[in-house]
Amino acid sequence: MAEAKIRIKLVRSPICAPEKHKKVVRGLGLRKIDQVVERPDTPGFRGMVAKVPHLVAIVD
């Protein structure tokens, strides 16, 4: 059976965000505004998204 995936999109720039938030965004693999990446739907990635909800969005 296929593993569940989530699609994460960078919607705001992390330039003025704290350094920890920048590291979370980079850890998700996001570099550019409106970039979308697919990651496994695991508690780890869900937690990373929950740390920076003002910078990223989950898209379908």
* Among 2-6, 40-44, 46-50, the least confident range: 2-6
CATH number at residue 53: 3.30.1390.20
Mean pLDDT for the chain overall: 96
Alpha helices for the chain (secondary structure H): 19-27, 43-51
Residue 29: give the domain boundaries: 5-59
Give how many domains the chain has, as a whole number. Answer: 1
pLDDT at 7: 98
Mean pLDDT of 8-27: 98
pLDDT at 1: 62
Please state, in angstroms and rounded to a whole number, the distance separating the CA atoms of residues 37 and 35.
Answer: 7
Mean pLDDT of 24-53: 97
* pLDDT tops 80 at residue 2: no
